[in-house]
Amino acid sequence: MHDERRRIEERVQRAHDQRIKPAIHAATVPFEVEAWQAPGEPVSFEEAAAARYTPFAMDTPWGPPWGTTWFRMRGQVPAEWAGRRVEAVIDLGFIGDWPGNQAEALVHLPDGRPLKAVNPLNQYVPVANPATGGERIDYLVEAASNPDILKDNFSRVTPMGDKLTAGSAPLYTFQRADLAILDEEVFHLDLDLQVLRELMVHLPEHEPRRHEILHALDRAMDALDLDDVAGSAAAVREVLAPVLAKPAHASAHTISGVGHAHIDSAWLWPIRETKRKTSRTFSNVTALADEYDDFVFACSQAQQYEWVRDNYPHVWARIQESVKKGQWAPVGGMWVEADGNLPGGEAIARQLIHGKQFFIEHFGVETKGVWLPDSFGYTAAYPQLAKLAGNDWFLTQKISWNQTNKFPHHTFWWEGIDGTRIFTHFPPVDTYNARFSGEEMDRAVRNYSEKGGGQRSLAPFGWGDGGGGPTREIMERARRLANLEGSPKVVIEHPDDFFAQARAEYPDAPVWVGELYLELHRATYTSQARTKQGNRRSEHKLREAELWATTAALHAPGYAYPYEKLDRLWKTVLLHQFHDILPGSSIAWVHREAEAEYARVAEELEALTAEAVAALGAGDTRVFNTSPFDRAEVVRTGDGATAYVRVPANGSAPLTGAEPTRSVRAGDRVLDNGLVRVEVAEDGTLSSVYDLRAGREVLGDKGNLLRLHTDLPNYWDAWDIDKHYNNRYTDLLEPTTVELVSDDPLLGAIRVTRAFGKGSTITQTITLRADNPRIDFETDIDWHEAEKILKAAFPVDVRAAHSSAEIQFGHVQRPTHTNTSWEAARFEVSGHRWVHVGEPGYGVAVLNDSTYGHDVSRTVREDGGTTTTVRLSLVRAPRIPDPEADQGRHRFTYSLLPGASIEDTVAEGYSLNLPLRVADAAGAPEPVVSVDGRGVTVEAVKLADDNSGDVVVRLYESGGGRAQGVLRTGFPLAGAQVTDLLERPLEDAAVEEGGVPVALRPFQVLTLRLRRG
């Protein structure tokens, strides 16, 4: 037989594109259209309905960047269309091939009810099926003219990322607003051809099935009347029916399809636009559920549900009905799909708590899995926290983006730092926006790593980010692929059902231990430093407010614990931990608003804490310690003076009455407190840090070396730092001034000022305090660089086999060598408050109060010694998608802690991030809780969410070993329970002599509910 493949494939392609697809809508009549441009920000339906509209013609430009145009569309279904399926077809002038991040619209009925959205790949609105003819149609359409930030494929700097810089020229040209007949036979022929043709081209050339489909398609084209597509469509489908009816092989892979619409809570659009994106997509989804009984839609992010509940009550009611019918599946159990590395431990706990509580309260549904497909790597703390929140499974997908190594599993047990395992799946289709194309089905099967162990995978399908979610076309593809020879089987089902079956068929799935590190997007640990600092500050201020509010509720008559305010503030912080806000990968508008929100959160939390402390009564000046560790340290008072204080963990003490053991001696570029001696070189770096206790030099080279690197990644500017950044740099070794600025015996300080680059300046105050070996670098940067990254290096004279970096409720160890490609790929990693390196008997830590990115490397010196260098990433200057990212003022502190054990490091990490508070208070109530025993660390103290008055305490083992202790209370204790994260009892806890004995395994998290006597 001659090879006719090319002729037939090209014949089918042209007939489909030029004849069949245009015939789907057989007849059309245009709407009469009027328009009104809303001034400024979006307006309510009521305001838009009352506005004055003017006539609007097709092919007319409309829509300034970030604008809202309302269109009134009126039409009448022709009488001769009676009995036909009629729908409106609206093309706003859609651009490109990505359905999100461009023009979108929500169609309303005259009474204000949202009907359905229109999107680039979902342009229809059902009118009547069947039509009676003569129906009057009246719509009000809210159209958003969002700019296409991806227009130049992230290759050009654009001002479109903020309404303040985007201009006002129209972006779109309206193409179409028609009433049309949907020719259902042609519609189904279109899908028959697409599915078969795509299956065919992805089958191996030697497969008989490929050639069978090829010749069936050729015969089908013979049956097609090019002059009467509608009239011949049924005959064409009859030719194709036999090849569509052939069942899949018995051993065919099974793909569980789950409807999905990944909507970033902010990214290339602001939060206010996400509120509208959710309403549009959710309108589409509920409309599709009415049309397809077998449709199931999985949707995460309780925050987005709340937006719809508060702003679109009609859509909310439809969601509730779909949940009852089993077609809508709340999943994820988190407030938002947060970044997987940067939120603190308590913040991830609250993500799970608030998310799960929302779904339980509003739907009576307890979600069973963490749905987090798009975050940029995943902390090794997740398995334990997910399980403690009552979850059975974890879904991710982003690791498929790895730059160097292919992740070896798709279905596996993920083991966290404490030993907890959770059943995890990573869809081999390698997308969370599947459409069941032939290419995707082929990739899912080829890619699947568990062949021979498991035989099913999951595929989230639908257009995300405002693309409208799943479509009827995707559902029709799924139906055709349910049991089709040559293809995997597709079944639409709830993700809980998929995970139950996957676990049952593969109970001995392999185990992956530790973090899921994404070998890409490493710069998200550093970009938009002010956003990250706002998050860190907010997390610690929330801890402080809860602790002192609990103290006041226990000891101050008449004080009311601020449940609602704390709940609202937590949710604001949780929202901004979304995986394109906190990582710094959003447009300028998003980060401008985030900084303002963090300022408001800080102001309100300061007021709540001050109110709680004041409720304890006026009196002597006292110092309040929010840290879980006792502290003896120097504090600055309100008048700028210094004092030395000793304050118990979670408690307070008088401002006066304590004296240090060793004071500070400050001289010309030298600070010495009897524990360490710090020498500053003429170039402003540290020439020596001598540990007087250990009798050894800490540094192996210049300390606090500031290095400015060229930083132009290959593609994703705000997201990536590529390895070649390390090849070109400038060391900042020309200080403007090096001067002694404090010779206070409690606090010595040397200030170093530098000017560099394109008008940037950096001022660092190097501070050493009495009785503390910690050296602080209080840093003030006025940053005006572009495509640069600034790092601070501490080369330490220790031979460290690994570094330890704090993560949520513990720490992870990473090798300092690069023996394999896996280690080499970790050239930039994340940590929270500290990084520790050491050798047996001696360690050094680098602490910070606001940054997360760092790198650790090791070199061998000529003298045979080893230098392990820790470098903090301080600030970047990407230009896409925010041209002004990180420009301007930054203030933060990082520290060097010589001679530090892990326990020392944990304590000082808390100390740096939780400054002592000086305030007037009458009494000295006992700390709400205290712990006898090392390694048991108190992370949160609060009143129970149910308003019972019970005290909830979250503890964890912080050193990586076993810990025992007794939790004691500053109030009469009547009983105690161990609970899950949602404060639901798991078991009673023993109470002995007024305390609760605690025994923890390494990095175990424990939540105790304490009943007051």
Question: For residue 787, with 0-12 CB atoms within 10 Å meaning exposed, 13-18 middle and 19 or more buried, which class applies?
Answer: middle
Q: Which helix (H) or strand (E) holds 447?
A: helix 438-447
Question: For residue 293, with 0-12 CB atoms within 10 Å meaning exposed, 13-18 middle and 19 or more buried, which class applies?
Answer: exposed
Q: What angle do CA 732, 738, 741 make, to 5 degrees?
A: 135
Sheet with 985-989, edge to edge strand ranges: 936-943, 951-957, 1005-1012, 973-979, 985-989
Structure tokens at 575: 């929202």
- 134 CB neighbour count, 10 Å cutoff: 12
**Catalytic positions:** 374
Looking only at the bridges linking them, the beta strands covering 393-395 and 421-425 are parallel
Nearest to 525 by CA among 985, 872, 24: 872
In contact, 549 and 608? CB cutoff 8 Å? yes
Sheet with 652-654, edge to edge strand ranges: 652-654, 620-624, 917-921
What phi, psi does 729 have (nearest 5°)?
Answer: -160, 170
In contact, 771 and 693? CB cutoff 8 Å? no
From its phi and psi, is residue 743 left (phi > 0), alpha (psi between -120 and 50) or beta? alpha
> Up-side HSE of residue 245: CA atoms within 13 Å toward CB?
6
Q: What is the dihedral of CA 218, 221, 222, 228, to 10 degrees?
A: 180
Question: Who's near 451: CB < 8 A, 6+ residues apart?
Answer: none
Q: Report the greatest alpha carbon distance in the chain.
A: 101
Looking only at the bridges linking them, the beta strands covering 1005-1012 and 951-957 are antiparallel
Sign of CA dihedral 982, 983, 985, 986: positive
Question: For residue 443, with 0-12 CB atoms within 10 Å meaning exposed, 13-18 middle and 19 or more buried, which class applies?
Answer: middle
For 33, the 3-state DSSP assignment is strand
Question: Who's near 464: CB < 8 A, 6+ residues apart?
Answer: 100, 260, 261, 262, 263, 264, 432, 433
CA distance 572 to 943: 20
Structure tokens at 97: 């091939």
